[in-house]
Amino acid sequence: MHLAHLHPAHSKRRKRIFIFFAACCAAYFLCASGYVDTIDADASIETARAMVEQHTLAVSVPNPEPMLYRRIGANTYSKLGLAMPLIYIGPIVAAKLISKYTGFGEHLLRIFLVSCVNGLVTACIVTLLFAIFCFVGYSTRLSLIVSLTAGFSTYLFVYAKSSHRDPLHALCILGAYAWPLLARESRFKNIYFIMVGLCSALLLMSKPVLVLAVIPAWWLATKQALRVRGQKTLFSLYGPLLIAIVLTACLARLVWGSFLATGYSKEVMTFHSSAWTTPFWNGVWVQLFAPATGLFYFNPVLCLCVLALAWKLWRRTCTELDGCLVLSIAAMIAIHAKWLSPTGGSAFGPRYLVPTVPLFFLFFIGLPLSQYKRPILAVFISCCFIFQLIHVSVKAEQYWTFRQKTSPKMLIPHWRANIHFFLHKLTNQPEIYSASLANRPNKRMVNLTAHRSLEGFNFWWAHLIRHPELLTTNLRHVHMQRVSRF
């Protein structure tokens, strides 16, 4: 086992994984937007700044949004957990150092670096998938195809440039499944099981309810841990999680006054609350199959993953891993089905289901993928990539502003509207959009030229080309204003 671990083939594989990770980071960096697109991220940034600059969790925010903040006595705290603020400490410190030695505006640098965080997180997701398929016996070529399809032909590509927490949740849940698979060929198995615990701990510190989705992964990891080295490995698995539980409980006691409290009111935490009013099966339909919001409309390539599972069921070759993946995906759907906005509000597709996307691709494990070399599959995956690239190129705010300015009852799906916007930009037409684009009879025009945040393609380098003054100014959100301010 020790000699196998030191075999040159293993070293080459690790080198390929590192090169693949670097390439993914470069690709996502080039596609970054350069701005923060959600108020959730603003709340986490403010918490991280308070931790760095004032060594406290209390934030100083004028007119705090009740949905994101809660006042306790004279202090105001974010409700969104500690995971993202801890991650944002790196970009905030880096922005301070770069600003100090280069003279660039600290705020602009901070926002730019934060906007790149999810690209790094998504690169980790795609690299984990690549490593998994390499380690379970697939060729480098097939592993590349599967992982690149997941990273660039699904809406993981779109959320890589967002500032939402969901890519982090996807990494944590995939990590809980990935590390036991990767540990099979390593003599340092305890380190891999510690990583499972760390992934679960980070998920707990970001959104505790999602821990339900990793329970099946724990079951698999626990079985393997007991099979490997017994109680010692089991401690490596659950130790980080127990530490996170204690830390989270103590912080809850310190900030909210109770070990089990969160920033949200007790009313929201019960199913009798008005926040849980969506009929369950309606929530399932909206998340998966509704034309305007369904997961499979925004990720057509996932149909191949479902076919892979169906093929296994038909051939009766399903494994424990497949069963656990189904349970985790079902848990993610069920957790949000009754929420007042099952898809995650004003987002691209069902935002809460972003963590399920990498799990779908694990259904391919165990299939003879080398036998399915069909040109039609290559064309289909390429079309899915172009489909996602269109959405990466257009700001999400464009759709919601257009919808707000035309008619609140406009039923055109987000993905379809983005195609219209993309073609308008591609043909260099004036940035004016009419309701007729949405196949509506009324010809009311909507002039959005004044809002430069919606002009051109949504890449940081495109923003700089249009507005070079960004390099010499420290204005707040100079190239991006909230939709509500339009």
Return the structure tokens found at 153.
């032909």
Kindly state the tokens that stand for 389: 């690239």
| Average pLDDT, integer, range 55-84 | 85
> Which among 235-249, 260-274, 354-368, 412-426 has the top mean pLDDT?
354-368
Mean pLDDT of the chain: 82
Tens-place pLDDT, residues 116-169: 999 999 999 999 999 999 988 899 999 999 999 999 999 999 999 999 999 999
What mean pLDDT comes out for the span 48-66? 88
Residue 6 has pLDDT above 60, yes or no: no
- Is it the case that residue 276 has pLDDT exceeding 50? yes
What radius of gyration, in Å, describes the C-alpha atoms of the chain?
23
Give the pLDDT band of residue 409 (cuts 50, 70, 90).
low
Residue 395 sits at the vertex; the CA angle it makes with 394 and 397, to the nearest 5 degrees, is 140
Distance CA 382, CA 17 (A): 23
Q: Which residue, among 293, 248, 274, has the nearest Cα to 414 in the 3D structure?
A: 293
Give pLDDT, residue 128: 95
C-alpha–C-alpha distance, residues 193 and 465, integer Å? 46
pLDDT tens-digit series, residues 166-193: 999 999 999 999 887 887 666 666 777 8
- Looking at the DSSP bridge assignments, the partners of residue 72 are 75
Which element (helix H / strand E) includes 24?
helix 8-30
* The pLDDT value given to residue 446: 42
How confident is residue 257, by pLDDT bands cut at 50, 70 and 90? Answer: confident
Name 157's Cβ contacts closer than 8 Å, sequence gap at least 6: 31, 122, 151, 388, 389, 391, 392
Taking only the tens place, the pLDDT of each residue in 331-351 is 999 999 988 889 988 889 999
Q: How far is CA 416 from CA 350, 391, 465, in A?
A: 15, 10, 28
Distance CA 381, CA 54 (A): 49
Cα distances (Å, whole numbers) of residue 372 to 301, 309, 362, 368: 15, 15, 17, 8
pTM of the model: 0.89
